[in-house]
Amino acid sequence: MLVLGAPRARVAGPAFAVGWVAGLAAVSTLVVILAGSAGDPGSDAASGVDWLKVAIGVLFLVLAAKQWKKRPKAGEPAAMPGWMATVGSASPARALGLGLALSGANPKNLALTLAASASIAQAGLDGPDTAIAVAVFVALGSVTVVGAVVFHLVGGARAARPLGAIKQFMADNNATIMMVVLLILGAKFLGDGLGGLWS
């Protein structure tokens, strides 16, 4: 949303989306390859994946608590992180780099990608099915980013108002949104990991 509000959004937006998809695909593929032996339920790799899910679940629950504590008080304006304030002026090359970094190296996204990719590896699929599963994960993980860029490109001036409203809503409610998402994901990963260890 921040990139799409930039003066060069018609170039920077697609560059960011390409970077996002590439970063997500690279990390997902790497984790699936490294955790390839996790398909055997009794293997050390399978237990390692379950412990990874537990660790990510606990991490997300801790991050959810931090988000809740730092939410703005009633009537207090939400503060935008400093790095976000500079995204609107990003060049296409910087937008590409931001897409790569936010999808592949951002701690929250990285933890989610690690857990999802490890689950794919743990499913014991053959090569083509694994590739399809990774492609579906990347598509689902990219749909909101790519969808917003496509809407901006196709909608032109008509897209500015709804995209601006979404951007403002997300800026005003960022801490609450992140807290809810992290709480749900934390509970899911913790439950999945503990279930795998106890089974």
**From the CB of residue 124, how many other CB atoms can be counted at a distance below 10 Å?**
15
Residue 170 has pLDDT above 60, yes or no: yes
pLDDT digits (tens, 9 = 90+) for 88-116: 677 888 889 988 988 888 877 888 888 88
pLDDT digits (tens, 9 = 90+) for 1-57: 778 877 778 888 899 999 999 999 999 998 888 876 555 555 566 677 788 889 888
Extents of the domains making up the chain: 3-198
pTM score of the predicted model: 0.76
Place of tokens 């690279």: 26
Q: Is 179 within 8 Å of 67 (Cβ atoms)?
A: yes
